[in-house]
Amino acid sequence: MTLSAATPQTMFNGIIFDLDGTLVDSRLDFAAIRKALRCPEDVGVLEFIDTLPQREQAAAHAVVLEYEREGAQRATWIPGAESCLEQLSVMGIPTAILTRNARVIAELTVSRLNIPVERVLAREDAAPKPAPDGLLAIAREWNMAPATIAYVGDFKYDLLAARNAGMVGVYLDMDGLNTHGYLADRVIRRFDELLIG
């Protein structure tokens, strides 16, 4: 059902979430991934793989996939995330996940933790964040204006993707360091803050 105006309780008609570091803690060791691939600190892992010779890309993706699989198998809920999703469901607010993870990994995580979202888009489904493609695809499916949708994430790519899509970028800053707050439309420390207008 499409709402004509944002629901007062949340300010949003729909909410899309990042997966790792936002809904779940998979304890992905990005430093180890970068070391294994010899990926510079200032370049995204997926973007770095794209610069490798074609013959090396499959092996590099396999390295990332193995780390992601280990993370999915040990993933646990971020405090407050499960309750937030349950409340949004009761309120009739549609939810989705957009992740840079591989689809098989996202599906494994969602299945293991029984994450109650209606839609999951992974890196095979759209250009990876910070590209807005995945977010805009979900907005079209929901028949909602992007400006009425929030994208919640814990990293700069999430907030840049939200900005590029014309959505409300919500930064989940659980450690309180506010590292990426300058890119956000809204900063929260806990999930219950998301449900407050």
pTM: 0.86
Can you give the pLDDT at residue 28? 80
DSSP string, 83-103: HHHHHHHHHT--EEEE-SS-H
Tens of pLDDT, residue by residue over 149-187, are: 999 999 999 999 999 999 999 999 999 999 999 999 999
Six token digits for residue 190: 């806990």
Q: How far apart are CA 194 and CA 47, in angstroms?
A: 31
Can you give the pLDDT at residue 1? 33
Q: Give how far Cα 76 sits from Cα of 22, 23, 79, 99, 115, Å.
A: 11, 9, 9, 16, 11
Can you give the pLDDT at residue 8? 40
**Is beta strand 168-172 parallel, antiparallel or unpaired with respect to 149-153?**
parallel
Q: How far apart are CA 187 and CA 181, in angstroms?
A: 6
Can you give the pLDDT at residue 3? 37
Amino acid letter, 146: P
Contact 95, 14 (CB under 8 A): yes
Contact 157, 164 (CB under 8 A): no
Q: What residues in the chain have per-residue pLDDT under 50?
A: 1-9
Can you give the pLDDT at residue 76? 96
Domains of the chain in sequence order: 14-26+76-195 (3.40.50.1000), 30-74 (1.10.260)
3-class state of residue 176 by DSSP: coil
3-class state of residue 138 by DSSP: helix
3-class state of residue 185 by DSSP: coil
Can you give the pLDDT at residue 5? 42
Q: Residue 19: which of 61, 70, 72, 80 has the closest Cα?
A: 72
Residue with tokens 């949708």: 149
Six token digits for residue 162: 């939200």
Can you give the pLDDT at residue 93? 95
